[in-house]
Amino acid sequence: MNKIPSVNLADFLSNDPNRKQQFIKDIGYAYENIGFVALKGHFLDDVLVDNLYKEIKNFFDLPEATKESYEIPGIGGQRGYVSFGKESAKGKKEGDLKEFWHFGQYVDPDSKYAKEYPENVEVKELTAFNKVGKEAYQMLEKTAKFVLRSLALHLNLEETYFDNYIKNGNSILRPIHYPPIKTEPKGAERAAAHGDINLITLLMGAQGKGLQVQNHHGDWIDAMAAPDELMINVGDMLSRHSNNKLKSTIHRVTNPPKEMWGTSRYSIPFFMHPVSDMKLNVLDSCVDKDNPKQFEDITAGEFLDQRLKELGLKK
């Protein structure tokens, strides 16, 4: 595949069984062959998107000392601010040319996961920042739920198979700022080539050039979404759960041409994670004599812990 296919969630949500089945077929084909799809018909409206970008730009424009006061030690960057160059791709020593913020799950107080997750960090300087972030988080989580329902059907599972695993799941909304590049980056990129850890990632802000996806032939393809689309890709958790039937594709954010170095880039991925005790063991329906089991049994929590250490975010 040399371009990212586009689908519309309204087809899956329609009462027309043919439209629904076509959506399942199209998204399944895309995730088996390239691991990325552009999605229209999601639950984010234009006003919420505009407000979110405004609040995020306001945050990243705050003085460095103010931003750093929201960097919480000892939690592996799971909530609040992570400063420039802190995160690197697996196997790469250079830090990525980015700073970011993490909104986490809004857990029911009586949930057993309430003690497991760090609390979200309130930004005192920006009165609407946390409210808008929470609303965007919940609309992206709702969108992701229906994408996973379509994939459950594609994998011959019951439609709501993933629902209980993602309720109170350890999902993260990550607004990212790639600041202007001031000096020649020595081996560093805005985001070096990597696969995502989680079940699926929903990305806002792939309208400009920069995001690239590697196809099965090793070619890098520009992944650009229309303004009303989210770019959605499979993560490593879902890839191993499906015995690599659904592909977690390597992707990167390249540095802009030199004449564009003076510009910022913003993108906002939502990393859909399940609860930590979900077993990621290979699904029986994805194993046969031609496709033997490729991965060891592991829980989502164990896998996440392992990967955060590889990324340098956890000791």
Among the listed residues 130, 169, 141, 131, the one whose alpha carbon sits nearest the alpha carbon of residue 44: 141
Q: What is the pTM of this model?
A: 0.90
**CB contact set of 38 (below 8 Å; sequence gap of 6+):** 4, 5, 6, 7, 225, 226, 229, 230, 231, 232
The residue extents of the domains of the chain are: 6-310
Could you report the per-residue pLDDT of 151-194, keeping only the tens digit for each?
999 999 999 999 999 999 999 999 999 888 777 766 666 667 88
Superfamily of domain 6-310: B-lactam Antibiotic, Isopenicillin N Synthase; Chain (2.60.120.330)
DSSP label at 62? S
**CB contact set of 30 (below 8 Å; sequence gap of 6+):** 1, 4, 5, 7, 36, 37
Integer angstrom CA distances of residue 41 from 23, 103, 145, 186, 240 = 12, 23, 14, 40, 28
**CB contact set of 154 (below 8 Å; sequence gap of 6+):** 24, 25, 27, 28, 31
pLDDT score of 92 more than 60: no
Q: In whole angstroms, what is the distance from residue 37 CA to residue 221 CA? A: 13
Could you report the per-residue pLDDT of 197-247, keeping only the tens digit for each?
999 999 987 556 778 888 878 888 888 888 899 999 999 999 999 999 999
Strand ranges across the sheet with 251-253 = 191-194, 251-253, 211-214, 220-222
